[in-house]
């Protein structure tokens, strides 16, 4: 058996601790993170792309699954039918590219956005339009906004990096 990627499920807000522990034990870890611009300046400026999850590349025949059972901060491996779920190499490669693209534009800028906040759509088919932030979608790169278009309010799903928060005019 060769090395393969697997997913580790962590306790809340323990991804960094688990990643550091595993790396210190010579396990290859990929913990996708993004730079964010939090409203609170004391809040973390780096967040997990998949909260509570990280990826490891191991050969269980060499290290044994028990090496991961007592990792501090970890709940365990993601499994199906009692077997660790293998993550395809292509998924990891695509995820690295996606994270690099987000980082190339300065990270996510959505911290502090609440439902009802005014936003400006700065790129894509609706570039230049004002809209109302509605919600983040489960895919962290997409958001739903309410756009007044063609005489009615329409829900539109767009790339999260395509919007900027507007400050209310007084």
Domains and CATH numbers, the chain: 4-104 (3.30.70.940), 118-165 (2.30.30.30)
Q: Considering only CA atoms, which of 31, 34, 37 is closest in space to residue 7?
A: 31
Q: What is the pLDDT of residue 72?
A: 93
CB atoms under 10 Å from CB of 74, counted, come to 20
Structure pTM?
0.64
pLDDT band at 24, cuts 50/70/90? very high
Is the pLDDT at 11 greater than 50, yes or no? yes
pLDDT band at 170, cuts 50/70/90? very low
Q: What is the pLDDT of residue 73?
A: 95
Q: Mind listing the pLDDT tens digit for each residue in 90-120? A: 999 999 998 887 777 666 666 567 788 888 8
């Amino acid at each position: 058996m060769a090395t393969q990627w697997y997913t580790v499920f962590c306790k809340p807000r323990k991804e960094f601790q688990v990643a550091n522990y595993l790396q210190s034990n010579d396990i290859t870890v990929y913990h996708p993170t993004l730079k964010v611009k939090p409203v609170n300046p004391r809040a973390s400026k780096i967040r997990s792309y998949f909260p509570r999850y990280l990826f490891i590349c191991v050969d269980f025949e060499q290290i044994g699954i028990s090496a991961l059972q007592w990792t501090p901060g970890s709940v365990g491996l993601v499994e199906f039918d009692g077997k660790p779920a293998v993550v395809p190499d292509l998924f990891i490669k695509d995820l690295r590219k996606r994270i690099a693209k987000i980082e190339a534009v300065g990270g996510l800028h959505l911290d502090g956005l609440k439902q009802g906040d005014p936003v400006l759509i700065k790129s894509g088919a609706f570039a230049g339009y004002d809209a109302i932030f509605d919600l983040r979608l489960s895919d962290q790169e997409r958001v739903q906004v309410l756009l007044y278009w063609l005489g009615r309010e329409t829900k539109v799903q767009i790339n999260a990096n395509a919007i900027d928060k507007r400050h209310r005019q007084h």
